[in-house]
């Protein structure tokens, strides 16, 4: 197998005195789909936010697409160009139209011309099936529509990795499906994805590996068939019992 695209080696992180990530070792290959689950406070969001340096680790090494993440600003910038992120609260820019939201990064970061950036943006918006809303403001869209725009915005830079931090947790139930469908399509097109979610159905059908985190450690790591059928660890069993519908 080729070199893994994300590597965590004995990574530790503290928030002040609170030890939030403990000795994390993780390898993610190209095109792999990883789902991270676990109780709240277990460090799952912190884990994926370390991948694009929205959080800084104090011990260990993180290497993303061959670039090691350090304090050096250039390394961070290079990594962020290859990693796209979708947030739980969408975080669309409310003062810009949808098209401008999506075209902002290609213009500012990739230094494309306005026409090229807008062409790309329209392409991505069509890909998430929301092309007709390009002239509207985020405040005029539903939650599900906003999240799809957020995905298009992240995709516009043509990243190699997509990170999803609980993308459907803030959505009304009837809008969860439209976002999951988009993520499914993305997965089928071969995108490397690391997803933090409580949607176990998605994990079962899409993931190559499912990770369970508790108290800052990766407690269990398995393909979904193994993970859901024979959870090896007691804590995993506890969690699944609470989360899976009976």
Partner 1 sequence: MLLALLLLAGAWLWSNTRANLAARQIHSGFHFLREPAGFAIGEGLVPYSPTDSYLWAFAAGIANTLRVAAVGIALATFLGIAVGVGRLSRNALVRWLCTAYVELLRNVPLIVQLFAWYMAATEILPEAANPLEFAPHVYLSKEGLQFPTPVWAMGWALALAGALIGILCAVGLYRWARARGERTGHRPRVFWAALSMALALPLLGWLSGGAPRALDVPELTTFNVSGGAGVTPEFLALLIGLATFTSAYIAEIVRSGILAVPHGQTEAAEALGLSRRQVLRLVVFPQALRVIVPPLTSQYLNLTKNSSLAVAIGYPDLVSIANTAINQNGQALECILLIMCVYLTINLLTALAMGFYNRRVTLVER
Partner 2 sequence: MSAAAAGARGRPDTSRAPPTRARGPLPWLKANLFASAPNAVATLLLGAALVRVLPPVVRWLVTDAVYAPDYRACRALEYRAACWGFVTEKHRLILFGRYPYAEQWRPLAATLLVFVALLVTAHPRSWRRWLLPAWAVVLAAFLLLMGGGALGLSPVEAGLWGGLPLTVLLTLVGMSASIPIGLVLALGRRSRLPLFRAASSLYIEMIRGVPLITVLFVASFVFPLLLPQGLRLDVLARVALGITFFQAAYMAEVVRGGLQALPRGQYEAAASVGLTWWQTQRKVILPQALTLVIPSFVNSLLSTFMDTSLVTVVSMYDLTGALRLALGDPQWRHFFLEGYLFVAAVYFTCCLAMSRYSAWLEGRLGSWARRPGAVQA
Interaction site with partner 1 (CB under 8 A) = 52, 54, 77, 80-81, 83-85, 87, 89, 91-95, 99, 104-105, 108-109, 114-115, 118, 134-135, 137, 139-140, 150, 153-154, 157
Instruction: Please state the closest distance from residue 40 (CB atom) to partner 2, in A.
Output: 8
Q: Whose Cβ is closer to partner 2: residue 31's or residue 39's? A: 39
Phi then psi dihedrals of residue 235, to 5 deg: -65, -40
92 binds, among partner 2, partner 1, none (CB under 5 to 8 A by kind): partner 1
Say how far apart CA 42 and CA 32 lie, in whole Å: 23
Q: What is the 3-state secondary structure (H, E, C) of 29-87?
A: CCCCEEEEECCCCCCHHHHHHHHCCCCCCCEEEEEECCEECCCCHHHHHHHHHHEEEEC
- Selection from 222, 232, 219 nearest residue 44 by Cα: 219
Q: Whose Cβ is closer to partner 1: residue 3's or residue 77's? A: 77
Size of the site for partner 2 (CB under 8 A): 17
For residues 153 and 160, is the Cβ–Cβ distance under 8 A?
no
58 binds, among partner 2, partner 1, none (CB under 5 to 8 A by kind): partner 2
Asked if residue 75 binds partner 2 (CB under 8 A), the reply is no
Distances (CA, A) of 156 to 53, 87, 107, 122, 236: 20, 16, 11, 9, 37
83 binds, among partner 2, partner 1, none (CB under 5 to 8 A by kind): partner 1
Asked if residue 41 binds partner 2 (CB under 8 A), the reply is yes
Q: For binding to partner 2 (CB under 8 A), which residues are involved?
A: 12, 14, 16-19, 22, 39, 41-42, 58-59, 214-217, 235
């Amino acid at each position: 197998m080729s070199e893994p695209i994300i590597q965590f080696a004995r990574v530790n992180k503290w928030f002040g005195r609170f030890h939030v990530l403990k000795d994390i070792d993780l390898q993610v290959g190209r095109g792999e789909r990883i789902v991270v689950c676990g109780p709240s406070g277990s460090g799952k969001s912190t884990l994926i936010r370390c991948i694009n340096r929205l959080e800084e680790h104090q011990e260990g090494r993180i290497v993303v697409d061959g670039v090691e993440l350090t304090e050096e600003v250039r390394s961070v910038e290079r990594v962020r160009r290859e990693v796209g992120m979708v947030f739980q609260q969408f975080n669309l820019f409310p003062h810009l139209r949808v098209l401008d939201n999506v075209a902002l990064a290609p213009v500012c970061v990739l230094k494309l011309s306005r026409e090229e950036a807008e062409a790309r943006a329209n392409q991505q918006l069509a890909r998430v099936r929301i092309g007709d809303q390009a002239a509207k403001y985020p405040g005029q869209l539903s939650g599900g529509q906003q999240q799809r725009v957020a995905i298009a915005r992240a995709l516009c830079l043509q990243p190699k990795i997509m990170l999803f931090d609980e993308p459907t947790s803030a959505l009304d139930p009837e809008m969860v499906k439209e976002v999951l469908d988009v993520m499914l399509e993305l997965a089928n097109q071969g995108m490397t994805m690391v997803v933090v979610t409580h949607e176990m159905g998605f994990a079962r059908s899409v993931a190559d590996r499912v990770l369970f985190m508790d108290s800052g450690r990766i407690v269990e790591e398995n393909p979904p068939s193994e993970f859901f059928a024979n959870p090896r660890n007691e804590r995993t069993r506890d969690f699944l019992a609470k989360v899976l519908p009976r």
